[in-house]
Structure 1
């Protein structure tokens, strides 16, 4: 299964390709992004490549994967990513997202996440999706709340210091 291009009023979400590895590596190593995404580790280009390869495999096998986010008024310039994956040791499906700090605070993470959730519930027919963020990352936690997610008390392998949220398909359209 190949990932579809997803779109919103302001955004286009394109499935990641090998050509996007350098952009993702640059984004993922920005101090403001890596602090919450990679536990402040400056990852190697090779780890970025391996991560993208894993997402590409997931896209082929179960429809999960990684999308680049670009704004419709500047489609040639990616501003972030969103993804679906199985957290290590879990069958849950986790929503991830990250944006360049220059575009934080504009509602783009929420908008991109809604497009991915539409895909999760309408196309993949998932029953629920989880998301997590480090407790200090209040912007990311606010996105989860705006999406209608509620605190998840347990059920997936935990990262210390992170809060997890869940959204059930039957609650999604109500939010």
Structure 2
């Protein structure tokens, strides 16, 4: 079950059915969706994606997915999940454009990464970012992600694979 996470300004908690309109609005905003997955989708596809959060992701406990809230209002989406691209766990996050530039992307990314290291026990956390998404590349660089390789996409674009590592902590001997 996806746990609730808190930062100084954010609450990350499980989606509830009442979040559907906010989720669809976020994913239908091309300023946001151009950077997500395969890019903009239809409204029907985004509604189906929202439904799968409940019928697959939460129902089968596949990975952690959060609604991101600030002062009780929905402002974004976050995930940490296994991915074949890196053979590890990848963070995914998106915020509504009206909160861009306030440092919330950094705060959100740091919270997801800390959860990956501290709760999931990961030694590496990855992110894949389209090369032209300078804002996300800057945020991730500032919190310790390093560029490890590029993936040439079929449409001519390049996806950057970034990794943050944490050395394994030695186990205590009793």
TM-score higher than 0.5 here? yes
Aligned to 2:164: 167
Q: TM-score scaled to structure 2, two decimals? A: 0.81
**What's the TM-score once normalised by structure 1's chain length?**
0.81
Question: Following the alignment from structure 1 to structure 2, what is the Cα–Cα distance between the partners of residues 141 and 105?
Answer: 14
- Contact between 2:93 and 2:109, CA under 8 Å: does it hold in 1? yes
Residue 49 of structure 2, aligned match among 48, 51, 62: 51
The alignment partner of 2:167 has SS state of helix
State whether structure 2 residue 99 is matched by structure 1 residue 103: yes
After superposition, the CA RMSD in angstroms is 2.5
How do 1:60-79 residues align onto structure 2 when only pairs under 5 Å count?
Answer: 61=60, 64-71=63-70, 74-75=71-72, 77-79=73-75
- Give 5+ residue unaligned stretches, structure 1: none
Q: Can you list the C-alpha shifts for 1:7-44, whole angstroms capped at 9, x where unaligned?
A: 01111111223332221111011121112115542422
Distance in 1 (CA, whole Å) between partners of 2:99 and 2:135 is 12
Residues 55 and 85, structure 1, Cα contact 8 Å, conserved in 2: no
Going by fraction, where is helix more abundant, 1 or 2?
Answer: 1
Which structure would you say has the larger Rg?
2
Tell me if structure 1 keeps the 8 A contact 2:86–2:126: no
| Equivalenced residues, count | 164
